[in-house]
């Protein structure tokens, strides 16, 4: 456990040591929020002040939490994992007396924690300025751990998807597919309630909704603690899948030459 | 006591291409050998001979197709993580340092991974820094280090947990002559001062001569030679190559104990039979008789040594 905590700590310190990257991310986040405010303001005005049960304020707090949870994750992790497996660089990580996927996830969670802290503070202030106070203090209080759990579920899931490269030697295609799954069934672009009914039902059965929709839903004012339980369940399952996929993949790793 | 025992180890990679139509590749074709604790072994062969594949099986990265191996009494591919705590590895073409961090920050993480206490970590980093003359490099970002400096820092990372066996896969690749020489000395010192078993792969003949006491040569995945380096030097390393550039094209180039391989304008390539005449004497002769602009001495390529091995009487 010491090794994984050290990995988390190293990831955290490495990220805060690179303020340039943090500034770019927060700047990009602010632009997304401004664009979303304009879009949703027009959409809600066209629907008489509410859409899918969300008014302007709740929708903007939804957007803030959903985007923050995704912002915490290393953007192209699936692709990077695939490149490391395909090139054989993963072999170096296999020469340490700890779980390869465990150490990778702990480092990425450390990086994510640093990004989330910044995004929560900067994004929260911006959202407050644009939309006013959150619809529910309890909802916001639950949204904060939900953002962290959503980020963790996303990291675990990216490792499960990236492990495909043990078989295909590349994860570019799965990265493309994965990104879209977080965007739509994950609720990053729009709340699930705004999707067509069959797609909304299917999305609720998939793990991606725990990565953006759950934090967003809580921040929008629905202070339902069962949403956190839903996240925790999927997080455990995704971690187990990632560990199993790496264990199976490491056994069949084929690295030729130096 | 044997640190490494290998028995009929074999690795065949499945065929590639659509529907796996290409034939399977037998990278390691049933090799057997043992390495005693504290030994310095060079495990050499031309490109594609199966050296790296062997090392990857002995460190547990690859599962063999058949055969057995034990490193420090553990089966590498079944007990990889346990073994990882007792061996060190250094791959010349792959880095174990995090490029965004300083070496010291990487060592700190590695110390937690290998369960090295904070006191031990401090003491070992200071000791290895002194031994490898690298202490002033530890607080610089890895990306700002030269290859030679980085390799010294890599070696510290490999030695931090005091491994009993050190696997070095092409550790001098890309280094300049001075850095290579320094690096070879370091490996020998680590072996002599700590008793660490060394298994070194390389296709640089000088690595073998200066680091190892014993040499195993493999080719096409098969073990074709296993003897002491001193014996190999007598039987297989009896030549040196001299590349020389003169101020003016020489009229004749007949020097005792040498064979002229190539003469083009002011440049020439000579092969010296060191069993007939020491290299130094040939160099003296060349410098006395001609105005030399540039000169270099090198070992014969490994491919030539391999062909000598095959040409030996059975």
pLDDT in tens, A143-186: 999 999 999 999 999 999 999 888 887 778 888 888 899 999 99
Round to whole Å and give the CA distance between A223 and A177.
Answer: 31
Residues recorded for chain B: 314
Distance of alpha carbon A46 from the chain centroid = 31
- Pairwise CA distance, residues B13 & B54, whole Å: 13
- Collect contacts of A76-81 with beta carbons under 8 A, ≥24 apart: A76/A175, A77/A108, A77/A155, A77/A158, A77/A159, A77/A162, A78/A158, A78/A161, A78/A162, A78/A171, A78/A174, A78/A175, A78/A178, A79/A162, A79/A171, A79/A172, A79/A175, A80/A162, A81/A158, A81/A159, A81/A162, A81/A163, A81/A165, A81/A171
Residues in contact with B271: Cβ distance below 8 Å, sequence separation at least 6, in sequence order? B239, B240, B241, B242, B258, B259, B261, B300
Confidence of residue B120 (pLDDT cuts 50, 70, 90): very high
Taking CA atoms, what residue in B is nearest to A96?
Answer: B84
Residues of A in contact with B64 (CB under 8 A): none
Query: Closest Cα partner for B299 from B167, B203, B174, B159?
Result: B203
DSSP A144: H
> Contact A11/A106 with Cβ under 8 angstroms?
yes
Contact assignment for B62 to A254 by CB distance below 8 Å: yes
pLDDT 10s per residue in chain A (258 long)?
Answer: 888 999 999 899 888 887 888 788 888 888 888 888 888 888 888 888 888 889 989 999 999 999 999 988 887 888 889 888 888 888 889 999 999 999 999 999 999 999 999 889 988 998 999 889 999 999 999 999 999 999 999 999 999 999 988 888 777 888 888 889 999 999 998 999 999 999 999 999 999 999 999 999 999 999 999 999 999 999 999 999 999 999 999 888 876 555
> Are the beta carbons of A94 and B61 separated by less than 8 Å?
yes
Q: Does B159 contact A at CB distance below 8 Å?
A: no
Instruction: Mark yes or no for CB contact B94/A96 under 8 Å.
Output: no
Reported as a pLDDT band with limits 50, 70 and 90, residue B314 is low
pLDDT of B244-266, one tens digit each?
Answer: 999 988 888 888 888 888 888 88
The count of other CB atoms within 10 Å of the CB of residue B231 is: 12
Nearest chain A alpha carbon to B169: A258
Contact list in B for residue A258 (CB cut-off 8 A) is: 51-52, 91-94, 169-170, 173
H or E segment to which residue B90 belongs: strand B87-91
Q: Quick check: A103 contacting B, CB < 8 Å?
A: yes
The count of CB pairs under 8 A between chains A and B is 86
B81 touches chain A (CB under 8 A): yes
Whole-number pLDDT of residue B199: 96
Cα–Cα distance measured from residue A81 to residue A149, given in angstroms and rounded to the nearest whole number: 21
The rounded distance, in Å, linking the Cα atoms of B29 and B43 is 15
Mutate to test the interface with A, among B62, B97, B99, B199 (most CBs of A within 10 A): B62
Q: Please give the residue that has the higher pLDDT: either B18 or A36.
A: A36
ipTM of the complex: 0.81
CA–CA gap between residue B206 and residue B211 (Å, rounded): 8
The whole-number pLDDT of residue B245 equals: 93
Contact list in B for residue A91 (CB cut-off 8 A) is 56, 61, 91, 94
Identify the residue among B20, B48, B56, B84 best suited for mutation to test binding to A, counting A beta carbons within 10 A and taking the highest: B56
pLDDT of amino acid B301 = 73
Tokens read off for A94: 């296999």
Res. B166: pLDDT tops 70: yes
Q: What helix, strand, coil percent values describe chain A, rounded to 5?
A: 75, 0, 25
- Dihedral of alpha carbons A103, A105, A109, A115, sign: positive
pLDDT at B18: 55
Residues in chain B with CB shorter than 8 Å from the CB of A2 are 112, 115
pLDDT above 80: residue B310: no
What's the gap in Å between the CA of B79 and the closest CA on chain A? 10
Q: Does A180 touch chain B (CB under 8 A)?
A: no
Question: Per-residue pLDDT tens for B224-237?
Answer: 999 998 888 777 77
> Is B94 close to A91, i.e. CB distance below 8 A?
yes
* Interfacial B residues in 131-150 facing A (CB < 8 Å): none
The reply to whether residue A2 touches residue B112, judged by beta carbons under 8 angstroms, is yes
Please report residues of A whose CB lies closer than 8 A to that of B81: 96-99
pLDDT of B76 strictly over 90: yes
**Looking at CA atoms only, how far is residue A243 from chain B in angstroms?**
15
- CA of B93 to nearest chain A CA: how many angstroms apart? 7
Interchain contact B229–A (C-beta under 8 A): no
Is B100 in contact with A18 (Cβ distance < 8 A)? yes
Q: Does B103 touch chain A (CB under 8 A)?
A: no
Q: What is the pLDDT of residue A64?
A: 93
**Is the predicted pLDDT of residue B179 greater than 80, yes or no?**
no
User: Which residues lie across from B241 on neighbouring strands?
Assistant: B271, B298
User: Tell me: the pLDDT tens digits for B192-220?
Assistant: 988 999 999 987 788 888 899 999 989 88
Nearest CA in chain B to A93: B96
- Looking at per-residue pLDDT, the higher value among B117 and B14 belongs to B117
DSSP B141: -
Show Cβ contacts of residue A31 under 8 Å, excluding neighbours closer than 6 positions.
Answer: none
Distance CA(A68)–CA(A50), nearest Å, equals 23
Residue B17, pLDDT > 60, answer no
pLDDT digits (tens, 9 = 90+) for A52-77: 889 989 999 999 999 999 988 887 88
Residues of chain B neighbouring A88 (CB-CB closer than 8 A): 94
CA angle A165, A166, A172 (to 5 degrees): 5
A111 contacts in chain B (CB < 8 Å): none
HSE on the CB side for B145, CA within 13 Å?
Answer: 26
What does residue B289 show for φ and ψ, rounded to 5 degrees?
Answer: -90, -25
Q: Using the beta-carbon criterion (under 8 Å), do B84 and A257 form an inter-chain contact?
A: no
Chain A residues with CB under 8 Å of B62 CB are 253-255
Which chain B residues have a beta carbon less than 8 Å from that of A89?
94
> Burial letters for B72-97: b for 16+ Cβ neighbours within 10 Å, e otherwise?
bebebbeebeebbebbbbbbbebbbb
Backbone angles phi, psi at B174, to 5 degrees: 85, -10
A13 φψ region: left (φ > 0), alpha (ψ -120 to 50), beta (else):
alpha
Report the C-alpha gap between B41 and B159 in whole angstroms.
18
Environment class of residue B209 by beta-carbon count within 10 Å: exposed (0-12), middle (13-18) or buried (19+)? middle
Lowest-pLDDT choice from B14-28, B39-53, B239-253: B14-28
Name chain A contacts of B92, Cβ cutoff 8 Å. Answer: 258
Name the average pLDDT for chain B. 88
Measure in Å the smallest separation between the Cα of A16 and chain B Cα atoms: 12
């Amino acid at each position: 456990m010491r090794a994984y905590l050290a990995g988390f700590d190293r990831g955290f310190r490495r990220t805060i040591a690179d303020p340039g990257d943090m500034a770019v991310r927060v700047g990009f986040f602010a632009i997304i929020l401004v664009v979303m405010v304009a879009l949703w303001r027009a959409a809600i005005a066209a629907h008489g002040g509410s859409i899918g049960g969300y008014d302007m304020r709740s929708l903007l707090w939804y957007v803030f939490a959903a985007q923050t949870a995704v912002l915490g994750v290393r953007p192209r992790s699936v692709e990077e994992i695939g490149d490391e497996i395909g090139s054989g660089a993963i072999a170096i990580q296999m020469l340490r007396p700890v779980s390869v996927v465990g150490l990778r996830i702990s480092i990425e969670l450390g990086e994510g924690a640093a990004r989330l802290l910044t995004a929560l503070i900067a994004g929260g202030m911006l959202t407050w300025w644009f939309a006013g106070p959150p619809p529910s203090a309890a909802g916001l209080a639950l949204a904060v751990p939900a953002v962290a759990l959503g980020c963790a579920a996303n990291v675990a899931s990216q490792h499960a998807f990236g492990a495909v490269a043990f078989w295909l030697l590349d994860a570019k295609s799965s990265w493309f597919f994965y990104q879209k799954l977080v965007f739509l069934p994950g609720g990053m672009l729009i709340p699930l309630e705004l999707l067509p009914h069959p797609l909304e039902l299917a999305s609720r059965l998939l793990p991606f909704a725990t990565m953006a929709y759950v934090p967003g839903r809580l921040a929008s004012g629905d202070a339902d603690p069962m949403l956190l339980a839903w996240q925790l369940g999927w997080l455990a399952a995704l971690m187990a899948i990632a560990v199993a996929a790496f264990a199976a993949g490491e056994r069949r790793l084929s690295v030729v030459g130096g | 006591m044997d640190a490494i025992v290998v028995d009929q180890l074999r690795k065949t990679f499945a065929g590639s291409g659509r529907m796996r139509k290409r034939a399977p590749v037998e990278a390691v074709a049933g090799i057997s050998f043992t390495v005693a604790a504290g030994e310095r072994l060079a495990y050499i062969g031309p490109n594609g001979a199966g050296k790296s594949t062997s090392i990857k099986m002995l460190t547990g990265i690859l599962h063999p197709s058949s055969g057995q191996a034990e490193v420090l009494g553990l089966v590498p591919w079944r007990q990889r993580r346990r073994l990882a705590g007792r061996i060190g590895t250094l791959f010349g073409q792959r880095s174990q340092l995090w490029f965004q961090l300083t070496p010291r920050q990487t060592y700190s993480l590695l110390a937690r991974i290998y369960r090295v206490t904070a006191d031990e970590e401090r003491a070992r980093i200071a000791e290895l820094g002194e031994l490898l003359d690298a202490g002033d490099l530890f607080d610089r970002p890895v990306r700002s280090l030269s290859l030679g400096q980085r390799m010294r820092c890599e070696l510290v990372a490999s030695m931090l947990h005091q491994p009993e066996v050190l696997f070095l896969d092409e550790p001098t690749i890309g280094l300049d002559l001075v850095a290579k020489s320094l690096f070879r000395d370091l490996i020998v010192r680590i072996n002599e001062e700590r008793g660490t078993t060394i298994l070194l792969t390389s296709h640089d003949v000088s690595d073998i001569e200066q680091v190892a006491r014993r040499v195993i040569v493999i080719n096409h995945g098969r073990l074709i030679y296993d003897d002491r380096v001193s014996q190999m030097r007598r039987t297989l390393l009896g030549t040196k190559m001299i590349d020389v550039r003169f101020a003016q094209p020489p009229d004749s180039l007949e020097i005792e104990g040498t064979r002229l391989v190539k003469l083009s304008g002011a440049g020439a390539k000579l092969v010296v039979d060191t069993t007939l005449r020491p290299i130094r004497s040939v160099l003296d002769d060349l410098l006395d008789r001609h105005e030399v602009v540039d000169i270099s001495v090198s070992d014969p390529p490994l491919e030539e040594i391999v062909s000598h091995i095959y040409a030996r009487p059975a």
